[in-house]
Structure 1
Amino acid sequence: MNDDLLGRHRAVLPDWLALYYDEPLEITHGEGRHVWDARGNRYLDFFGGILTTMTAHALPEVTKAVTEQAERIVHSSTLYLNRPMVDLAERIAQLSGIPDARVFFTTSGTEANDTALLLATAYRRSNTILAMRNSYHGRSFSAVGVTGNRGWSPTSLSPLQTLYVHGGVRTRGPFADLDDYDYVAACVDDLKDLLGHSRPPAALIAEPIQGVGGFTSPPDGLYAAFREVLHERGVLWISDEVQTGWGRTGEHFWGWQAHARSGPPDMLTFAKGIGNGMSIGGVVARAEIMNCLDANSISTFGGTQITMAAGLANLTYLLEHDLQGNARRVGGLLIERLRAAAAHVPAVREVRGRGLMIGIELTKPGTDEADPDAASAVLEAARAGGLLIGKGGGHDTSALRVAPPLSLNVAEAEEGAAILEDALRSIQ
């Protein structure tokens, strides 16, 4: 680490801007599933800039598209017709599963969720929002107001009235001991009771798999059951696909498809992986919802040509190379390998996830008490072994997050699993 750079960072950037590692890392370049730091050390990257380098570092197809677009025009705003934006919107609308879909592009997942909340509250004329406990939806004032994770919610002030619902964390809470059928039934009963004590909400916003929350998820079908209750009351369903979208879970292209009994959501939000590092976010909604605003609006940077070119190239590569199928196959191997390793480590409470979205929750052995110090120790040990992973969780950041680029191959999965196994054993 360049100590001068760290000093400069601390002198001009906020204290709350988190840095990983006791000796923070400067990443200078990457290729495929690997990155290098300023000292020349090479790492296998199992976090991808927080699930954002979705296909590969320095993917030639994306680099070429960005270079060629930059040589023509980088930006013009949404006040002018924009062919790359229309091209990508058409692809995403078709893939979304939402009928008569409209797409609005933003620069981040936070902004996408902020836009979805604006649309829902305007459409329904209500500022009451249902959100899940342990959830995370972004950093803006409104997104923080619907975030159910205390570690990422710095203020209780909000323009919204938020009511938090059970169900996002299968193995904790008052219903954890129930089987899946009874768990869903209990969560639905709780939702009905909550609705009976509140003004009609605008929407439920939910991550199919909670990202910052530690890659936790409910049983399949929970949100379909919720949707049936909500639909009777006209309440919208917003699926936050910022981390689960684009085939990362392997089994489905979108996370909502694990809850598809009642059809697609009214809105979905996306970001992160679609740009492979370029700043793209967005909302997909039925036309009647998207068009409900009665004031002018534009986006200066959402949908700018250079990011749209990157998104088109990246999405094309992902589909043509069946990276969803690769996430299912290689991710299945990786999660089984990690479960086998964790069986010998008493501090591991659970290994969970789907595809290439895997969480490892650490607790003090023999208890359900979170152990964030153990998670930090494993993070450091993995780095020392040449592997970068992430952290998260609603219980004091005690879950490790494993989310490599979707082009990960079997040899790299085995290598990363071996490093992580050694890192987990080092804390015993």
Structure 2
Amino acid sequence: MTPDLFGRHRAVLPDWLALYYEDPLEITHGEGRHVWDAAGNKYLDFFGGILTTMTAHALPEVTKAVSEQAGRIIHSSTLYLNRPMVELAERVARLSAVPDARVFFTTSGTEANDTALLLATAYRRSNTVLAMRNSYHGRSFGSVGITGNRGWSPTSLSPLQTLYVHGGVRTRGPYAHLDDREFIDACVDDLRDLLGHTRAPAALIAEPVQGVGGFTSPPDGLYAAFRDVLHERGILWISDEVQTGWGRTGEHFWGWQAHGRSGPPDIVTFAKGIGNGMSVGGVVARAEIMNCLDANSISTFGGTQVTMAAALANLAYLLEHDLQGNARRVGGLLTERLRAVAAQVPHVREVRGRGLMIGIELTRPGTDEAAPEAASAVLEEARAGGLLVGKGGGHDTSVLRVAPPLSLTVAEAEEGAAILERALRSI
């Protein structure tokens, strides 16, 4: 980076604004699955701006759509008819599988989850919300109030009463020793017991794969079993697809579909990858839920024309090139390669994930004790080798997060795995 940029950053931006690396990195441009820094160093990008560059850096179809739309009009707000917004809403509604779907666009996943909470609490006339332990749903006052990850929850104050449910982490906690069927049964029993001690909640909000939490997930079918219990009481199910949507998990287009025998969620939230770097988020809900608000509202920047044009082009590219299938194929190869490496590295407790959403959990050898210092060391070594990855986990941040653009090639997967192998062996 420019020598004085870090100092300038620290002088005007908050201390709590996290930065990776001892010598923070300034990324100046990207192409495909690669980015370059201010010193001209080239990196294979296995994090995509936190799972946001979903298809590729500088994807020609997206940059062309942005340029052409910017040449016409960039923004007008939702007070006026907006053709790109309507067209994208139509596509998202069809893809969502939510019956009689309505779509509202926001600028981020945080704002999408806040909107979902507003809808659910207004529809159910309750400010009690069920959330998963180890979850993350955003940085706003409302979404922090339902975040079950201590490292990303800076205040205990909240406009909501939040009750946390077991099940988001398969290999830790009181039910980790059970097999999958027993695990699901125990979590359902816990949910029933919890509901017996509280007034009717508005909704359960859950990430099918916990993102910031370290790419953890329950056995397939858990949220379907939860949905049966919730449905008995009229409680809504909100699926936070900010990180899992659009085919990233490979096996399914939406993460909730791994738990789909009870049908689609009542509300789906999305963001990140759909805009391929542009600020696009949103909420899909049944019409009766979306239309339950009895006051006017608008969005100044949600659904603005230039971001909608980018998302339309990005979504078309993803579907036409079967990037979900690529995530399944290349992600499967990458996961197996990393598991083979992990078997020889005492610090690695587990390699887990789906598609191109892979977590490598590090612990102190011979224990289940988290090793955040090892995760930081691997992050630095990977960068030195020309690879960018992310971090996550509980408050200990001891999980490496691997989530490259969905157009990743087999050769790039092998290259990245080799760099990660050297970095992991260095600890």
> Shorter-chain TM-score: which interval?
over 0.9
Give runs of ≥4 in structure 1 deviating > 4 Å: none
CA distance, structure 1, for counterparts of residue 3 and residue 341 of structure 2: 36
Task: Report the counterpart of residue 118 of structure 1 in structure 2.
Answer: 118
What residue is the counterpart of 2:249 in the other structure? 249
Kindly indicate whether the alpha-carbon contact (under 8 Å) linking 2:105 and 2:303 is maintained by their aligned counterparts in 1.
yes
Deviates more, 1:264-273 or 1:393-402: 393-402
- 1:18 and 2:18 are equivalent in the alignment: yes
Letter in 2 for 1:254: W
Q: Distance in 2 between matches of 1:92 and 1:338?
A: 34
Matched, 1:356 2:319: no
Structure 2 distance, partners of 1:262, 1:194, is 21
Q: Cα deviations across residues 351-406 of structure 1 (Å, max 9, x unaligned)?
A: 00000000000000010100000000000000000000000001500000000000
Match of 1:178 in 2: 178
Letter of the 2:290 counterpart = M
Which residue of structure 2 aligns with residue 2 of structure 1? Answer: 2
Q: 2: distance between equivalents of 1:40 and 1:113?
A: 38
Aligned to 2:205: 205
Q: Which runs of structure 2 are paired with 1:89-128 in the superposition (5 Å)? A: 89-128=89-128
* Paired position in structure 2 for 1:406: 406
Contact 2:150 2:395 in 1 (8 A): no
Counterparts of 1:380 and 1:5, CA distance in 2 = 20
Normalised by the length of structure 2, the TM-score is 1.00
Distance in 2 between the 1:203 and 1:395 partners? Answer: 25
Residue in 2 that maps onto 1:287? 287
Determine if contact 2:391/2:398 at 8 Å carries over to the other structure: yes
Describe the superposition over 1:2-21 as per-residue Cα deviations: whole angstroms up to 9, x where unpaired: 22111100000000000000
Residue aligning to 2:390: 390
1:217 Cα deviation after fit? 0.1
Separation in 1 of the partners of 2:231 and 2:316? 34
Deviations 1:213-258 (A, max 9, x none): 0000000000000000000000000000000000000000000000
Counterpart in the other structure of 2:148 = 148
Provide, for residues 12-60 of structure 1, a one-character-per-residue CA deviation record: whole Å limited to 9, x for no partner.
0000000000000000000000000000000000000000000000000
CA separation in 1, counterparts of 2:31 and 2:342? 29
CA distance in structure 2 between the aligned counterparts of 1:250 and 1:109, rounded to whole angstroms: 21
Q: Give distance in 1, aligned partners of 2:380 and 2:343.
A: 21
Query: In percent, how many aligned pairs have the same letter?
Result: 88
Name stretches of at least 5 consecutive residues in structure 2 with no aligned partner.
Answer: none
* Residues in 1 aligned to 2:249 and 2:276: alpha-carbon distance in whole angstroms: 17
Partner of residue 300, structure 1: 300
| Counterpart residue type for residue 14 of structure 2 | P
| TM-score normalised by the chain length of structure 1 | 1.00
Q: Deviations over 1:47-87 (max 9, x none)?
A: 00000000000000000000000000000000000000000
Match in the other structure for 2:74? 74
Contact map agreement 1:53 1:273 (CA 8 A) in 2: yes
Q: Is the 8 A contact 1:31 1:56 kept in 2?
A: yes
The residue number in structure 2 matching 1:86 is: 86
Q: Name the counterpart of 2:321.
A: 321
CA distance in 2, matches of 1:399, 1:66: 35
Determine the C-alpha separation between the residues in 1 that align with 2:185 and 2:294: 39
Q: Could you list the per-position Cα deviations for residues 402-421 of structure 1 after superposition, in whole angstroms to 9, with x for gaps in the alignment?
A: 00000000000000000000
Q: For residue 58 of structure 2, what is the aligned residue in structure 1?
A: 58
Cα deviation 1:312-336 (Å, max 9, x = unaligned): 0000000000000000000000000
Which amino acid letter does the alignment assign opposite residue 392 of structure 1?
A: G
Aligned pairs (5 A) from 1:254-265: 254-265=254-265
In 1, are the aligned partners of 2:137 and 2:146 still within 8 Å (CA)? yes
* Unmatched runs of 5 consecutive residues or more in structure 1: none
State how far apart, in whole Å, the 1-side matches of 2:194 and 2:365 are.
36
| Deviations, residues 110-159 of structure 1 (Å, cap 9, x unaligned) | 00000000000000000000000000000000000000000000000000
Q: Which amino acid aligns with 2:232?
A: E
Rounded Cα–Cα distance in structure 2 between residues aligned with 1:2 and 1:186: 54
| Equivalent pair of 1:370/1:395 in contact (CA under 8 Å) | no
CA contact (8 A) 1:110 1:139 kept: yes
Structure-2 separation of matches of 1:296 and 1:99: 24
Q: Take 1:12 and 1:44, find their aligned partners in 2: how far apart are those partners?
A: 30
* Paired positions, count: 427
Tell whether the 8 Å contact from 2:102 to 2:285 is kept in structure 1 after alignment.
yes
Q: State the match for 2:332 in structure 1.
A: 332
What is the letter of the counterpart of residue 127 of structure 1? Answer: N
Mapped to 2, the partners of 1:213 and 1:199 lie a distance apart of 28
Distance 1:236 1:127 in 2: 13
